[in-house]
Amino acid sequence: MKKVFLFDALREAIDEEMGKDPSVFVLGEDVGHYGGSYKVTKDLHKKYGDLRILDTPIVENSFMGMAIGSAMTGLRPIVEGMNMSFLLLAFNQISNNAGMLRYTSGGNFKIPLVIRGPGGVGRQLGAEHSQRLESYFQSIPGLKMVACSTPYNAKGLLKSAIRDDNPVILFEHVLLYNLKDIIPDKEYFLPLDKAELVRKGQDITIVTYSRMRYHVMEAVNDLIKDGIDPEVIDLISLKPIDINTIISSLQKTNKLVIVEECMKTGGIGAEIIAQINDHYLDLLDAPIVRLSSQDVPTPYNGSLEKVTIINPQQIIDSVRILVNES
């Protein structure tokens, strides 16, 4: 076992897979000589050279199309978005090509493509650099989406994504790269379709993902002092959603709070609520509470930025009300 930063865990995953499979390569803006904006590809250019750690021009639609074409012909590209917000410029390539080509070709083409990079609300990055694209991509057929939250799951998810024959979007939060935790020395993989039970509890289920996992656990520390015993689930898999893990928890607690940094309208939380209302409504003793970011462009002003996203005290207050009133 060893303790590493999240960005180092991601780099280890890329390095291990590139070392084992010559078809794996990385492309994106400043991934080579500079080592990536958040140093996920630091020093890999020295080891693998220009053709496998490929610096691209600032043309997201072009290099995304090139990555998809290379995946169709047998390579396994990893596209780094310098900021995930920039990938909106490649939305057509991701949706109409990456997501659909395996289907529209009748299975003649596989698309073993990984799209990864930093996203989420940082610290005063402005509206255009604070996007949460999971709500944009969740309705596109053919895509898988996962969100890492720890160095352990970051490495395991990325290695599995690289080996998958379908396009996978890995969401990394811009404020979690310097998170440090223990990961195994030996090789490991994590499933791309399973949630993680972070904490067992009996009173209420809290579902979350990415950076909000830490806001939830901060809130849980206070809730325990109140005698409330929450069960916490980190979704990890955003598409498909591991609804079975959520339902198993609701069979015990019968109450649900969803905490996300995504916007409320059309977000991941909205999809979870829809699935539960469609098939499992009888498990609920109270209406589902959804804590999401406000439907506004993220302000640059630091104080206003904080107001737009969920904080631990809001989680505490919502759980207390739900537990005490039901």
Span 39-54, pLDDT tens digits: 999 999 999 999 999 9
Whether omega for the bond prior to residue 22 falls within 30 degrees of 0, making it cis, is no
CB-based contact 177:38 (threshold 8 Å): yes
Question: Which of 214, 69, 215 is closest to 149 using CA atoms?
Answer: 214
Q: Is 209 exposed, middle or buried (0-12, 13-18, 19+ CB in 10 A)?
A: buried
User: Which residue among the candidates 45, 80, 129, 215 is catalytic per the annotation?
Assistant: 129
Token code pair at residue 203: 């009173």
What's the CA gap between 117 and 114, in Å, rounded?
10
What domains lie within the chain, and their CATH numbers? 2-183 (3.40.50.970), 196-325 (3.40.50.920)
pLDDT at 177: 97
pLDDT lower than 50: segments of the chain: none
Query: What DSSP character marks residue 15?
Result: H
Beta-strand runs (E) in the chain: 2-5, 24-28, 53-55, 76-80, 114-119, 144-147, 168-173, 180-183, 196-199, 204-208, 230-234, 237-239, 256-263, 289-293
Residue 45 Cα distances to 26, 82, 102, 267, angstroms: 10, 17, 31, 37
46: Cβ contacts below 8 Å, ≥ 6 apart: none
Token code pair at residue 39: 């140093």
Task: Look up 129 and say whether it is catalytic.
Answer: yes
Helix axes 6-20, 151-163, angle to 10 degrees: 30
Task: Look up 60 and say whether it is catalytic.
Answer: yes
User: Which residue among the candidates 60, 196, 261, 271 is catalytic per the annotation?
Assistant: 60
pLDDT at 325: 81
Q: pTM of the predicted model, to two decimals?
A: 0.96
pLDDT at 326: 67
pLDDT at 6: 98
CA atoms within 13 A on the CB side of 152: 8
Query: What DSSP character marks residue 93?
Result: I
Q: Is 58 exposed, middle or buried (0-12, 13-18, 19+ CB in 10 A)?
A: exposed
pLDDT at 206: 98
Token code pair at residue 129: 């650099």
